[in-house]
Amino acid sequence: MTRSADAIIIGAGVIGAATAFELAKQGWKTLSVDRNTQAGHGSTAGSCAIIRMHYSTFDGTAFAWEGYHYWRDWAGYLEARDPNGLARFRETGCLVMKTARNGWLEKHIENSRALGCPFEEWDAEAITRRLPVYDLTGYFPPKRMEQPGFGEPDGAALTGGVFWPNGGYVNDPALSAQNLAFAAKAKGAAFLLGVTVTEVLRDGGRVRGVKLADGEELHAPVVINVAGPASSKINALAGVLDDMTIKTRALRQEVVHLPSPEGFDFERDGLIVSDGDIGCYCRPEQGNNILVGSEDPPCDPHQWIEDDTDYDRDFSDQWTTQAMRYGQRVPSLGIPSKMRGVVDLYDASDDWIPIYDRSMLPGFYMACGSSGNQYKNAPIAGKMMAALVDYCEAGGDHDTAPLRFTLPYIGREIDVGFYSRKREINTESSFSVLG
């Protein structure tokens, strides 16, 4: 049996499903394939699903500010009401602590001001008024438990931060991908789940489709790699690694699940906090809990994974390190004896900025290297990928004349070459999950 489509999309996570939705809206007959049995059940399900606007680059900030507008009106964007319910965006606001390492957020402020993205500068009093359980003692640089000086104050204190009132999080990231898949199907898209791609087919120097583990061939003149942590494997199958100066790898990460300190309802009154002084970020979680992740400070080792289907899913001492570092900021925090949280994989690029691009194989495209910081951009990434495919398939040479794409809500034109697989390492990047 051979099935055919206009485009095959490998991956039904949040960005893959958004790409299917956007192409289907333009009349493309798409077929999405995923080894998981339900959309959003790969690394999307393990995402903290934070919606924020602060990035170290102007282009990253513009993309994130544009992306916010789709989550704000999720039902309107989808154009179809999923009977299983809709993922919900909680607009809690996002606070980023000012530190010497992030340049006191001067670049972030400049980017937001230029884009008309609302922000407020908070002093220490404003922070503790909003988060009375917080102690602003400084501990920089972040350390691991076994390092000398762990938990010892650095003699300074945090003096303030920047608050982006439109930040927040999506309560169910897997459901958001399923919402997108439902909306895509309403526009004519098809999904084939629980299957594994084992070969990328070629014909006459162009992509011809994919072959599945059971031997079935799926034919299409366009194939888009949105395979998350498996993206590097798919690119290898397509034979497109040779001209990529930026590549991707699977990176193991742990997110800690902690109860809110007694007397404070973090689910109701908490917010997203990015805190470079202790090397952690956090967000509220249902049940009056807190999710705490690492901001990848130099002390936290990177665990690169060769096989994205076979890796250690048990918690390690990284869990305890993150919990204890967050406990420095919240002294009344109780550290439970039972570890709870998430162990999953990022799809990280060399400079932690994604690749949204064509490839050296005509008809083969990639939306990969999302590095744990692109969930928030899924709708606009899908829209931009659809525009990129249209541009290249119509004869545009994206390598020499990159697509210029207008972000619909904020009206800014961006150079999609910023996300090129052939770019030089972007030295403005934070080289961390912050992007």
Sorting pLDDT into bands at 50, 70 and 90, what band is 427?
confident
**354-376: pLDDT as tens digits:** 999 999 999 999 999 987 789 99
Residues 6+ apart with CB under 8 A from 240: 359, 360, 361, 364, 366
**292-331: pLDDT as tens digits:** 999 999 999 999 999 999 999 999 999 999 999 999 999 9
What fold characterizes domain 2-85+172-247+351-419?
Answer: FAD/NAD(P)-binding domain (3.50.50)
> What CA–CA distance (Å, rounded) separates 153 from 330?
14
- Kindly state the tokens that stand for 320: 């305890």
pLDDT recorded at residue 1: 62
**193-221: pLDDT as tens digits:** 999 999 999 999 999 999 999 999 999 99
Domain ranges of the chain: 2-85+172-247+351-419, 90-167+252-345
pLDDT recorded at residue 177: 98
Q: What share of the chain is helix, strand, coil (3-state, %, to 5)?
A: 30, 25, 45
> What CA–CA distance (Å, rounded) separates 324 from 28?
50
Sorting pLDDT into bands at 50, 70 and 90, what band is 274?
very high
Given a contact cutoff of 8 angstroms between Cβ atoms, the answer to whether 202 and 364 are in contact is: no
Q: Is the peptide bond before 141 cis (omega within 30 degrees of 0)?
A: yes
- Residue percentage of the chain with pLDDT more than 70: 99
User: Which amino acid is present at 86?
Assistant: L
User: Which amino acid is present at 430?
Assistant: S
**For residues 405 and 428, which has the higher predicted lDDT (pLDDT)?**
405
Domain 90-167+252-345 coded CATH 3.40.50.150? no
> What CA–CA distance (Å, rounded) separates 105 from 210?
45
Given a contact cutoff of 8 angstroms between Cβ atoms, the answer to whether 32 and 16 are in contact is: yes
